[in-house]
Amino acid sequence: MENSDKVVAVIMVGGPTKGTRFRPLSFNVPKPLFPLAGQPMIHHPISACKRIPNLAQIYLIGFYEEREFALYVSSISSEMKLPVRYLKEEKPHGSAGGFHCFRDAIMEDNPSHIFLLNCDVCCSFPLPAMLDAHKRYGGMGTMLVIKVSPESASQFGELVADPVTNELLHYTEKPETFVSDLINCGVYVFTPDIFRAIQNVSNNREDRANLRRVSSFEALQFPTRTLPTDFVRLDQDILSPLAGKKQLYTYQTMDFWQQIKTPGISLKCSELYLAQFRSTSPYLLASGDGKKNATIVGDVYIHPSAKVHPTAKIGPNVSVSANVRVGAGVRLISCIILDDVEIKENAIVIHSIIGWKSSIGRWSRVQAEGDYIAKLGITILGEAVTVEDEAVVINSIVLPNKTLNVSVQDEIIL
């Protein structure tokens, strides 16, 4: 294999300064390690990277302490038979600046192409097809894009692309007026020239020191609205200025895509990944007809260490994690059950996430309407929550270490 053929992948994992919308599920576990379809969130993009031809290495970049990722990085490296390294940012550098900060490590293998992915994105990650398209286009970078409803487009980076050549002609991050129903998916492939483009922004920072639009995170970090020279944002500082210069191109996916902002959306993403397992990893999906094993309906993941009573009925869209105990007559629909949970006889869980070490009592009911976007559209129990026998919990969020001996509805229990 020639060095020029080598590819590396970089996955941005963020850090504890972000992810507040993911509470109470991110209190004790970094958001990238939260399980979707029984696998850590970050496992899905890493698995997709494995399909890239000539992949030399995967880098994870974020603010989390290295110890929080050490065990996962070690196990995934050995499972994939591929080096996975975690690189810790010491201070915020922006979405492109953090990438640039570790350019020497990223370029160690002298790759011809570099994938850049965001961890909090759920999609089928068509990376080999993107790479082929990128080589045909001949530009510096190619971004994955998708069509969404015009009403939701403004929550993302909207863009205009040439319908024939797929060149990126115009890019605006979260515009105030409608630009396009084509949005940025947060998945890119670049040539190493991207590092020179980022360096040029740093060199010319004085020209654009005063920020007109800042995110809440940037406002907290830089109250004077003056960015340090090494703080470079991929969207506003790279994509927007280079649009229309035959440097950047788009690759449209017709498959699923979601940004994983909240626990509610994570339940939707778990469903999407479980459905994808039918074609990519059918061995991960459970089966059973209620005789020797529980009755399984639709796409369900059950960890091998979980103990599930044969009279239980599970699915569709259910993920059951390690050491879970599911009693007789239990019904689970559209839910994520985390490690060490006990669900006692005849309990029902629907449209909910049950936190680690929680206990659901006999004949109790934990459920929600199943609106993935509404604040209380799914019920979330934090870690070590006890729902006592015959209690009903509907459309509620319960913080860790609480005991519920009465029924609650539409409440956030602190």
List pLDDT tens digits, range 29-65.
888 999 999 999 999 999 999 999 999 999 999 888 8
Q: Output the average pLDDT for the chain.
A: 88
What's the pTM? Answer: 0.89
Read off φ and ψ for residue 241, nearest 5 degrees: -65, -30
Question: What value does the mean pLDDT take over residues 204-213?
Answer: 53
Read off φ and ψ for residue 263, nearest 5 degrees: -55, -35
**Taking CA 341 as the corner, what is the angle to CA 35 and CA 388, rounded to the nearest 5 degrees?**
135
Same domain, 307 and 213: no
Same domain, 252 and 278: no
Same domain, 289 and 247: no
Same domain, 286 and 358: yes
Domain housing 348? 265-413
**Would you state the pLDDT for residue 4?**
57
Confidence grade of residue 84 (pLDDT, cut at 50, 70, 90): very high
Last residue of a domain, one of 261, 295, 322: 261
Q: Are 12 and 100 in contact (CB under 8 A)?
A: no
Same domain, 303 and 376: yes
Same domain, 92 and 156: yes
Same domain, 327 and 201: no
Same domain, 168 and 284: no
Confidence grade of residue 226 (pLDDT, cut at 50, 70, 90): low
Confidence grade of residue 187 (pLDDT, cut at 50, 70, 90): very high
CA–CA gap between residue 342 and residue 254 (Å, rounded): 39
**Would you state the pLDDT for residue 2?**
46
Same domain, 20 and 129: yes
Same domain, 89 and 180: yes
**Would you state the pLDDT for residue 223?**
47
Same domain, 318 and 249: no
Question: What value does the mean pLDDT take over residues 210-216?
Answer: 49
Joined together, the tokens standing for residue 3 give 């060095």
Same domain, 229 and 246: yes
Last residue of a domain, one of 229, 244, 261: 261
> Among 18, 28, 68, which residue's Cα sits nearest to residue 358?
28
Last residue of a domain, one of 208, 227, 261: 261
CATH number of domain containing 290:
2.160.10.10
CA–CA gap between residue 286 and residue 199 (Å, rounded): 50
Q: Spell out where 129-264 has E strands.
A: 141-147, 157-161, 168-173, 182-190, 248-252, 257-259
For 343-374, write each residue's pLDDT tens digit: 999 999 999 999 999 999 999 999 999 999 88
CATH number of domain containing 51:
3.90.550.10
Instruction: Give the count of domains, the chain.
Output: 2
